[in-house]
Amino acid sequence: MKRKLTRKIKEGAIETILFLSALSSVFITISIVVVLSYESFGFFKEVPLIEFLTGREWTPLFAEPKFGILPLISGTLLITSIALIVALPLGLTAAVYLSEYAPHRLKEIIKPILELLAAVPTVVYGYFALLFLTPILQKFIPDLSGFNALSPGIIMGIMIIPYVSSVSEDAMRAVPMHIREGSYAMGATKLQTAFKVVIPSAFSGIAAAFIIGISRAIGETMVVAIAAGGMPNLTANPLEPVQTLTAYIVAVSLGDVPHGTIEYKTIFAAGMTLFLMTLVFNIIGFWLRKRIREAY
């Protein structure tokens, strides 16, 4: 009797703890959104939304400040695009190799190495881009400035390969063997089977992997802050210095802007923009992943 009672109390206590920790993460998320909204609301009381969204200059710290977010958005999108041009094809190729070709033993070696790419601190990547890749690129592209979008974009692409490849590989391996056999039975080669049947079958999972890669690239801070130069620049030219939303946020946070000023509030306006951008991609990714489960 007594044993049963203690067990019941124990179970109850554990359940409560689990519930509270789940609740706390929900609570923290909600508070972040509330603080972000509150502070950006303060910002938009002083700066009209239309100026924020259409202004072509972002110079909040100048004597005559301008609050157009477009240069930061363009910087973010430019670097993200470069990163994706590197990461998506390489990540997908790696996934095809790992899922369809690699012998088991080799896979056991390659996978941890790939995952190590994601474990390197991003500061290291940042200085690698600035001090190693940029000088090399300058030998081929004389016009490339010391700070630019290209070099951190490429490095960021390499950094997110493992995110893209591991989720894509999982999706491809989840394709049932009898679908592959159907292709082989029609006389298809391994390559044809991989590209014409396995990839389309794993489409939603691969798309989800791409979305994860995109969110990761948009949210990345250190590499850009170090190697892209801190200049908001409305351009599509990868050879010029740019600034991203994240890089702006660290740059301003590191300086000593007084609490409550408009400069201080720009952090939250930029943060809100970033939050909404990643949210959109995550919602798309969530929706796609739900669809994979329905496919089989």
Residues in touch with other proteins (CB under 8 A): 178-179, 181-189, 192, 196-197, 200-201, 203, 295
Query: 3-class DSSP state for residue 267?
Result: helix
Question: Would you state the structure tokens that stand for residue 288, as one six-digit string?
Answer: 């796609």
CB of 204 to other proteins, least distance (A): 10
- Cα dist. 69→56, 105, 280, 295 in Å? 7, 50, 18, 40
| Phi (first) and psi of residue 67, to 5 degrees | -120, 45
Q: How far is the CB of 103 from other proteins (least distance, A)?
A: 9
Q: Which two tokens stand for residue 95?
A: 């996934």
Q: CB 195: neighbour CB atoms within 10 A?
A: 14
Q: Are 93 and 107 in contact (CB under 8 A)?
A: no
Nearest CB to other proteins, comparing residues 188 and 239: 188
Q: Tell me whether residue 184 or residue 264 sits nearer to other proteins (CB atom).
A: 184
How near is the Cβ of 214 to other proteins at its closest, in Å? 23
Conformation bin of residue 240: beta by default, left when phi > 0, alpha when psi is -120 to 50: beta
Q: At closest approach, how far in Å is the CB of 209 from other proteins?
A: 17
Nearer to other proteins among residue 89 and residue 182 (C-beta):
182
Residue 152: DSSP 8-state: H
Q: Which is nearer to other proteins, 5 or 185 (CB)?
A: 185
Rank residues 164 and 199 by Cβ distance to other proteins and give the closer one: 199
